[in-house]
Amino acid sequence: DIDGVGQKYHLELVLEDLLDKDSTVNCTAEVLYHLGNNIPPDVQFTIEGELKNAEEADNIFYNRIKSLEKELVAENIPDSHGNVSPEMEPVHLLAWVASGYVIWQNSTENTKFQLAQIKHVKQVKRSDEYLEFDYTILLHEMVSQEIIPWQMTVLWHPQHGVQVTQ
Amino acid sequence: RQLLLSTSTFDYATYHSLDEIYAFMDLLVAENPNLVSKLEIGRSTENRPLYVLKFSRGGTNRPAVWIDTGIHSREWVTQASGVWFAKKIVLDHENDEGLASVLDKMDIFLEIVTNPDGFVFTHTQNRMWRKTRSRHSGSLCVGVDPNRNWDAGFGGPGASGNPCSETYHGPYANSEPEVKAIVDFVKNHGNIKAFVSIHSYSQLLLYPYGYTSTPVPDQKELHQISEKAVAALSSLYGTSYKYGSIITTIYQASGGTIDWTYNQGIKYSFTFELRDTGRYGFLLPAKQIVPTAEETWLALKVIMQHALDHLY
């Protein structure tokens, strides 16, 4: 508890690779929730070791999308039964990353958000090297149990990373 | 869809519609008339029958275990697990020592689709629907959270008075026929010794209270049972669960099922939150249904065994 500022939490956590459960990385972080909850929490972190290199998979996905004749469009990922087709798996993962940013920007000490589903995703063709996707996602907020639709525009490039505009 | 002819050809590893689950129940009873019967305990808002399967070796009004799944309709792995539990009881009731000893002295009641209106709605209109489908005057919004509608701290902090909210407690306790049906059943039966209400997701095993931070008198015992049940669950696939009282482990919630059942004197009142912890959430892939049901069953057996060994 920091008087006049907010609440600071010191965390020790383990990051687990979604696609390889045996691959873990230790992480320490500090999260500062500001008084009033009007601004996103400050986050600082250090990772012990290296995150797995996904360059090959990134480039395969990048090239596949870049070479599509028609813009990618999809709905309900996962579907009602929890299915995600192999082609949509990277689109799902990208949404996961981008929603992490949205969740961070909207979190308080009294919220717990998860990405529930991608309702709709549409690729927006660009003349530059970035891939752009317009997502409508559903966020599940655990405390209120509400399902919150959210619009996000996501830019991605294998070497330049992810950018989210809400 | 093919006509279901036998519970041996039923696909337990996929999600089913209400009609398919109701057909399964009838078949299970027909195949095992000496063990299984189907009771109608009431009707939903949209007049769908509320069915409970009774597993009994005989006797009159034996001490009983109650299990319900699907009270929140979007939590599909729970109804699917309920179907699996029903079949499991039938398969194992003679050869599994633990289960056989339970059924020697106790009955098991299983309500698989506790909120059928909501369940149908998740299939036809909105996969994320949680509540019932009741309309109460003065609101455009539909539905009451059936896990905030019980008469335990009803209307207090931990539920919403806003009809449009996912945790709307309803106009008064037991306003929902789905809840009232269970209340009436429990009171009329009078001999239920363990009550388990199953939800998803979060991987938690919870005991009362949710509406107050005052610990229940039996806290120590319930905590010990939870520890044992979670250990049994994890032993199968390594799935990790946390456990504790609702209010300390998840959040404050008033008008909840197991707070009411506990206050009725049903000491062994528990709530499960099944897989996962958020990666798929409510949209748990169908291939996880059976592993989830299998591991949860081990925990349920610990609870049932404990109740049997500590009848009160």
Predicted confidence (pLDDT) per residue in B94-139, tens digit: 999 999 999 999 999 999 999 999 999 999 999 999 999 999 877 8
Cβ distance B128 to A117 less than 8 Å, yes or no, reads yes
State how far the alpha carbon of A74 is from the alpha carbons of A32, A83, B5, in Å.
37, 13, 37
Chain B nearest C-alpha distance from A21 (Å): 12
Residue B1 pLDDT > 60, yes or no?
Answer: no
Nearest of A159, A21, A156 to residue A90 by alpha carbon: A156
Domains delineated in chain B? 18-310 (3.40.630.10)
Cβ-based neighbour number of residue A1 at 10 Å:
6
Residue B2 pLDDT > 80, yes or no?
Answer: no
**Is B273 a catalytic site residue?**
yes
Residue B57 pLDDT > 60, yes or no?
Answer: yes
What is the structure's pLDDT at B4?
Answer: 79
Mean per-residue pLDDT, A104-110: 93
Q: One-letter amino acid identity for A48?
A: E
Beta strands B36-43; B49-55: pairing state: antiparallel
Coil, strand, or helix at residue A152?
strand
Q: Report the C-alpha dihedral over residues B274, B277, B279, B285, rounded to 10 degrees.
A: -10
- Least confident window among A3-12, A17-26, A110-119, B147-156: A17-26
What is the structure's pLDDT at B29?
Answer: 98
- Dist. CA B186–CA A119, nearest whole Å: 41
State how far the alpha carbon of B271 is from the alpha carbons of A113, A122, B220, in Å.
22, 40, 16
Cβ distance A78 to B285 less than 8 Å, yes or no, reads yes
What is the structure's pLDDT at A37?
Answer: 73
- Dist. CA B308–CA B312, nearest whole Å: 9
Chain B partners within 8 Å of A103 (Cβ):
none
Nearest of B164, B32, B155 to residue B92 by alpha carbon: B32
pLDDT above 70 covers a percentage of chain A that reads 100
Q: What are the backbone dihedrals phi and psi of residue A59, each rounded to the nearest 5 degrees, phi first?
A: -70, -35
Say yes or no: B17 contacts chain A, CB-CB below 8 A.
Answer: no
Q: Encode pLDDT of A74-103 as tens digits.
A: 999 999 999 999 999 999 999 999 999 999
- Dist. CA B32–CA A5, nearest whole Å: 65
Beta-bridged to residue A117, according to DSSP, are A138
Cβ-based neighbour number of residue B186 at 10 Å:
20
Q: For residue B145, give every residue at least 6 positions away whose Cβ sits within 8 Å of its Cβ, in sequence order, or none.
A: A145, B72, B130, B131, B159, B160, B165, B166, B167, B168, B169, B170
Residue B65 pLDDT > 70, yes or no?
Answer: yes
DSSP H or E segment with residue A60: helix A55-66
Contact, A140 vs A157, CB < 8 A? no
Mean per-residue pLDDT, B215-223: 98
Across chain B, how many H-helices and E-strands are there?
9, 8
Give residue B66's pLDDT band: very low, low, confident or very high (50, 70, 90). very high
Chain B partners within 8 Å of A80 (Cβ):
15, 76, 122-123, 127, 283
Q: Which residue has the tokens 């291939």?
A: B287
The CATH 3.10.450.10 domain(s) of chain A lie at 6-48, 54-164
Domain A6-48 annotated CATH 3.40.50.1980: no
Cβ distance B15 to A117 less than 8 Å, yes or no, reads no
Cβ distance B283 to A140 less than 8 Å, yes or no, reads no
Nearest of A118, A115, A130, A114 to residue A91 by alpha carbon: A118
Mean per-residue pLDDT, A60-67: 95
Give the up-direction half-sphere exposure of residue B144: CA atoms within 13 A in the CB hemisphere: 28
State how far the alpha carbon of B208 is from the alpha carbons of A75, B115, B254, B268, in Å.
40, 22, 11, 10
Compare CB distances from A146 to B166, B278, B286 and report the shortest one's residue.
B166
Cβ distance A81 to B286 less than 8 Å, yes or no, reads yes
- Dist. CA B127–CA B115, nearest whole Å: 14
Chain B partners within 8 Å of A83 (Cβ):
285-286
Nearest of B211, B64, B292, B137 to residue A82 by alpha carbon: B292
Q: What is the CATH number of domain A54-164?
A: 3.10.450.10
Residue A129 pLDDT > 70, yes or no?
Answer: yes
Contact, B141 vs B147, CB < 8 A? no
Q: How far is CA B113 from the centre of its chain?
A: 9
Beta-bridged to residue B269, according to DSSP, are B195
